Amino acid sequence: MPRPAATIALIRNSPQGLETWMMRRVVGMAFASGAVVFPGGRVDDADADEAIAWHGNTPEVLANRLGIEVSPARAVVTAAVRELFEEAGVLLTRPRPLGDVEPERRALETRNLRLSDWLAEKAYALDVSGIQPWARWVTPPTEPRRFDTWFFVVAMPSGVDARSASTEASSAGWIGVREALDLAERRELLVLPPTMVMLRGLLAAGTVDGVLAAASARSLEPVHPDVRYNEDGTILVRGGGEEVLVRS
């Protein structure tokens, strides 16, 4: 069975156009080695902990939007917020933390600290008010590692800095959405098909407000991509109403 996972596109407006935070995964990793991705990862059992307080929306409302039960909805949204903190250093809470939280971020990343315990100690609630679901992709059965991945979007909060924080990333930073697509088309960046399709959608929306407005109307039916292996060594992936040609 595919493992549940969550990934989240952190976005902001710039004079050059819409930008998003992306990280290049360390070469040699078992999954998506060397690929440029949004912050994200698999859902942990602890992400469904009902002791984790939420601000700005309820698990029931988001479960209804996602079309799944409350417990898995709680888990995937919490996982998206947790991964954003672990990998980009951006913590979405109310109230916002005071002082340096890097020791706690590292402890969460290494699983030496439970998110629910830390939030309860500080009286923090996860701020899910700005998070919008975007898509859901399921890895094809032919792949050795399979994930049922929810894609989310969120605007970069004001007064907060993102940074390359994850041990799973060789580099990370802000990149223009159009630039990322152009580099991927020229094979200067390795971008997986679901990420490529999402980048196209972000570019079409144009701005942060446009992305958030578009997200509210998107279908969240699971995308089961069709994969075709061509004689020239390329791979054609169809899914989410898009085609992506993967070149070796």
Domain of residue 241, residue span: 3-246
State pLDDT tens for residues 3-53. Answer: 999 999 999 999 999 999 998 875 544 455 578 999 999 999 999 999 999
pTM to 2 decimal places: 0.91
Give the model's confidence band at 227: pLDDT under 50 very low, under 70 low, under 90 confident, else very high: confident
CATH code for the domain in which residue 132 is found: 3.90.79.10
State pLDDT tens for residues 175-201. Answer: 999 999 999 888 888 888 889 899 999
State pLDDT tens for residues 51-103. Answer: 999 999 899 999 999 999 999 999 999 999 999 999 999 999 999 988 889 99
**Per-residue pLDDT at 148 exceeds 70:** yes
What's the domain count of the chain? 1
Contact (CB, 8 A) for 225 and 236: no
